[in-house]
Chains A and B, each alone.
Chain A
Amino acid sequence: MAHIELRRISKRFGSHVALRDLNLSIDDGEFFVLLGETGAGKTTTLRLIAGLERPDSGQVLIDGVDVGSWGAAERDVALVLQQYSLYPRYTVRENLEFPLKSKIRRVEPEEIKERVARAARTLRIEHLMERKTDRLSGGEMQRVSIGRAIVRHPRIFLMDEPLSNLDAKLREALRTELKNLQMTLGATFLFVTHDQIEAMSMGDKIGVLNHGRLVQTGSPQQIYTDPRDTFVASFVGSPPMNLLDGRLVAGRAVMTPLAFELPLGVMPRQAVEGRPLIFGIRPEDVYLESGAPVEGRVHDIENHGVEKILTLRVADTMLRATVPAQTDVAIEEPVRFAWNENKVVLFDQGSGLSLRHAG
């Protein structure tokens, strides 16, 4: 159980800047997700905490202690990777016992037995204990890898895309299992992923990384409803937030090039009147209604069974609307739509920053 703090961390690989002036604080017992695209610096951050990389500048603190000079083994963190890294000729039991049999750890045989049994129960792999690991499915192997981390009772769990190699159904199931595990253990988890659904569904807190910079930290709800900039807005949420260029003119959002306009009376008008803006609206806050102000055509229909995601076309502008499954529309059919003006997020067109964050 531990608190992690990164202070002004920078890291380069040759001329490539992996992390810039990164500040990050993860509470004891928190499930923290670092979310970003490939190359954003997520794995580097994880490796810095694990002690597998050294920062060029800045400090890594665990429970308030600067661990910069500590080796990976001394930091007492467990790493679970995308690749399972199990011993193929060993049984599941032997794989779980292995980390405890190392000479520096000196765990008593009775204690080993008990820890392995408890981990097996938690991960529901008791029926697999005598099986060789090369006879396991992907999901089972990943559970054993996590088991190997659990038995050590580490201070921190670091997980690098552990679900990425699994198929969709299994990922869905393991997401809840991991969250459940973290709650049961009460341990500090740092989980790295490029998948925003994983981040949203598991994280107590999410940190969004973009090109080595931490763009925003917050609860899933904060990140979703109040994204700091257009990068976060379009990265989190599936389908992503609609981002429409335009200006605010006399209480109306006028999209440019002049395709259509929508009412927006709820915004503080004076400050932003006439300024080039980006209007952000989530697909679930765009709705179809017969008397609505704008006409568009249905360009595409994505059918999820429980709901449909429509792509609407107005002149050259496309935007998405999530509608109930029963909504009966056809491709190229004209429809009228409006938005929930209370849910509109304004971004500056130049900087991409949300006006709520930029002031």
Chain B
Amino acid sequence: MTQIELRGVQKFFGEVQVIKDLNLSVADNEFIVLLGQSGCGKTTTLRAIAGLETIDDGDILIDGRPVQTTKASDRDIAFVFQLYALYPHMNVYENIAFPLKATRKSKAEVDKEVRAVAKTLQITHLLDKKPSALSGGDMQRVAIGRALVRRPKALLMDEPIGALDAKLREEMRAEIKRLHMKQGSTTIYVTHDQVEAMSLADRIVVMHEGILQQIGTPQEVYSRPANLFVARFVGSPVMNIAPAAVRETAAGADVTVDGADEGFQFPRQVLADLGAANGVSGKLALGIRPEGVLIERTARAGYLPVEATIIEPLGAYDIVDLKVGAQMLRARTRSGYVGQPGEQVFARIDPAQAHFFDTQSGLALGVGR
């Protein structure tokens, strides 16, 4: 049973504030992913929890007890780095057994635990090998084994598979997820890769410039981004963001992107929603993911004529760039649907998938669904 809590954590490197008033509560057995670009403060946060970094203000609590004065080695937390950090002169068995040396366990007990961990990670056949004889993936398996063998309260991982090639990264990601399901230890995992975050996390913590942007399940972060940063950071191809204006029409409402003659039809409800969110007047951006831009090849009620300027065939589907007023909107279509660049097609925005943002604050206005 391990809960981790951060309360009002502040951290400076000289003049630069790298963590700004961070509050985070991690439940027992939870898999939390800290997601952000390099320099966003995610690794510093992780190192502060591990005790490898001090904090300037706030509290870090493990199971309800403040740990700022507790040394890293006494926090009972295991850390896995991107670089494997194995002892090169020891074989795999000795590397995994090493953290148990200080625990006064009998040789038989140590042996039992090392073999149990090795079995879980499927590296029993490598126990006699030296690290130099291992592949990158196997080295990282051993590093994880060494972290798990002393049954730490929590497991912290800093881009553990970032240095591996794409195929191995996928394999290891699956293994880490499965291991977590089996072992059920509280895990905090740092990455800049949004697919990794979406695939592993119970909840994702998106960070940017030392500030927590959003905490939520992968589904929440993807379909209800809290602000423009999260909207752009999660999802590929990136969400379309276009300055837009909303106005009332006979049929309901129109959302017109800048420079366009005509607006996309929306239900009247959007007016009331945006009114309540105070977002009507000229500082509004429409956000729509490519799968929310719907295309037809023939004219249809509620669809606007637009020009398809570029078609990117990606095999399973196409990404089509549409010129709408002064803006470019990218749409996802089934492959080969739009024949030629330059073709006129008809587009609609799915109101259920639309987002609206205040362009000044960057905050989502929480409407459109």
A positions within 8 Å CB-CB of B = 168-169, 172, 175-176, 179-180, 183, 197, 200-202, 220-221, 224, 236-238, 282-284, 299-306, 311, 322, 325, 331-332
* Pair B195/A302 contact, Cβ less than 8 Å: yes
23 residue pairs from A and B, CB less than 8 Å apart: A169-B238, A172-B236, A172-B238, A175-B312, A176-B310, A176-B312, A179-B310, A179-B312, A183-B341, A200-B312, A201-B312, A201-B313, A224-B313, A282-B315, A282-B316, A283-B316, A300-B170, A300-B173, A302-B195, A304-B195, A304-B236, A306-B290, A331-B177
Complex CA distance for A200 and B313, rounded to whole angstroms = 6
**Chain A residues, Cβ within 8 Å of B341:** 183
* Pair B314/A305 contact, Cβ less than 8 Å: no
Say yes or no: A220-B235 contact (C-beta < 8 A), given A302-B199, A331-B181.
no
* Pair A224/B315 contact, Cβ less than 8 Å: yes
A58 to chain B, nearest CB (A): 32
**Chain B residues, Cβ within 8 Å of A201:** 312-314, 319
* Pair A180/B309 contact, Cβ less than 8 Å: yes
Cβ of B335 under 8 Å from chain A: yes
**Chain A residues, Cβ within 8 Å of B232:** 169
* Pair A202/B312 contact, Cβ less than 8 Å: yes
A350 to chain B, nearest CB (A): 25
Cβ of B289 under 8 Å from chain A: yes
Cβ of B198 under 8 Å from chain A: yes
A177 to chain B, nearest CB (A): 10
- Report the 8 A-B pairs with minimum CB-CB distance, sorted nearest first: A201-B312, A300-B174, A305-B222, A303-B198, A224-B315, A284-B316, A220-B313, A303-B199
Q: Mark B311-343, 1 if CB is under 8 A from A, else 0.
A: 011111001010000000000100110000100
Q: By DSSP majority rule, is chain B's interface helix, strand, loop, or mixed?
A: mixed
Considering the complex, give the chain A residue whose CB is closest to the CB of B234. A305
* Pair B316/A322 contact, Cβ less than 8 Å: yes
Partner of B315, one of A200, A304, A325: A200
Complex CA distance for A301 and B289, rounded to whole angstroms = 21
Interface size for chain B: under 10, 10 to 19, 20 to 34, or 35 or more residues?
A: 20 to 34
Considering the complex, give the chain B residue whose CB is closest to the CB of A236. B315
Cβ of B252 under 8 Å from chain A: no
B79 to chain A, nearest CB (A): 25
**Chain A residues, Cβ within 8 Å of B316:** 237, 282-284, 322
Considering the complex, give the chain A residue whose CB is closest to the CB of B315. A224
* Pair A331/B178 contact, Cβ less than 8 Å: yes
Q: Knowing that A305-B234, A305-B289 touch, tell me 19 more A-B residue pairs with CB under 8 angstroms.
A: A172-B237, A176-B310, A179-B310, A200-B315, A201-B312, A201-B313, A201-B314, A220-B313, A224-B315, A300-B178, A302-B170, A304-B195, A304-B236, A305-B198, A305-B223, A306-B291, A322-B316, A325-B222, A331-B181
* Pair A176/B321 contact, Cβ less than 8 Å: yes
**Chain B residues, Cβ within 8 Å of A183:** 310, 341
Complex CA distance for A238 and B166, rounded to whole angstroms = 11
**Chain A residues, Cβ within 8 Å of B313:** 200-201, 220-221, 224
A224 to chain B, nearest CB (A): 4
**Chain B residues, Cβ within 8 Å of A169:** 232, 238
**Chain B residues, Cβ within 8 Å of A303:** 195, 198-199, 218
Considering the complex, give the chain A residue whose CB is closest to the CB of B332. A306
**Chain A residues, Cβ within 8 Å of B289:** 305-306
Complex CA distance for A3 and B292, rounded to whole angstroms = 41
**Chain B residues, Cβ within 8 Å of A302:** 170, 173, 195, 199
* Pair B314/A197 contact, Cβ less than 8 Å: yes
Complex CA distance for A221 and B237, rounded to whole angstroms = 20
Considering the complex, give the chain B residue whose CB is closest to the CB of A284. B316
* Pair B177/A300 contact, Cβ less than 8 Å: yes
* Pair B314/A200 contact, Cβ less than 8 Å: yes
Complex CA distance for A138 and B262, rounded to whole angstroms = 37
**Chain B residues, Cβ within 8 Å of A220:** 313, 315
**Chain A residues, Cβ within 8 Å of B177:** 300, 331
A115 to chain B, nearest CB (A): 25
**Chain B residues, Cβ within 8 Å of A175:** 312
Task: Give residues of chain B (273-316) contacting chain A, Cβ–Cβ below 8 Å.
Answer: 289-291, 309-310, 312-316
Task: Give residues of chain B (186-243) contacting chain A, Cβ–Cβ below 8 Å.
Answer: 195, 198-199, 218, 222-223, 232, 234-238
Considering the complex, give the chain B residue whose CB is closest to the CB of A183. B341
Complex CA distance for A221 and B316, rounded to whole angstroms = 10
A206 to chain B, nearest CB (A): 10
**Chain B residues, Cβ within 8 Å of A224:** 313, 315, 335
Say yes or no: A305-B235 contact (C-beta < 8 A), given A200-B314, A322-B316, A331-B178.
yes
Central interface residue in B181, B199, B238, B336, by most chain A CB within 10 Å: B199
**Chain B residues, Cβ within 8 Å of A283:** 316
**Chain B residues, Cβ within 8 Å of A168:** 236
Complex CA distance for A33 and B316, rounded to whole angstroms = 19
Considering the complex, give the chain A residue whose CB is closest to the CB of B181. A331
Complex CA distance for A7 and B315, rounded to whole angstroms = 30
A217 to chain B, nearest CB (A): 16
Task: Give residues of chain B (157-188) contacting chain A, Cβ–Cβ below 8 Å.
Answer: 170, 173-174, 177-178, 181
**Chain A residues, Cβ within 8 Å of B173:** 300, 302
Central interface residue in A220, A282, A322, by most chain B CB within 10 Å: A220
Complex CA distance for A284 and B234, rounded to whole angstroms = 22
Considering the complex, give the chain A residue whose CB is closest to the CB of B197. A303
Complex CA distance for A197 and B315, rounded to whole angstroms = 9
Complex CA distance for A317 and B291, rounded to whole angstroms = 32
**Chain A residues, Cβ within 8 Å of B336:** 221
Complex CA distance for A43 and B243, rounded to whole angstroms = 42
* Pair B321/A306 contact, Cβ less than 8 Å: no
A282 to chain B, nearest CB (A): 7
Central interface residue in B309, B312, B336, by most chain A CB within 10 Å: B312
Complex CA distance for A284 and B316, rounded to whole angstroms = 7
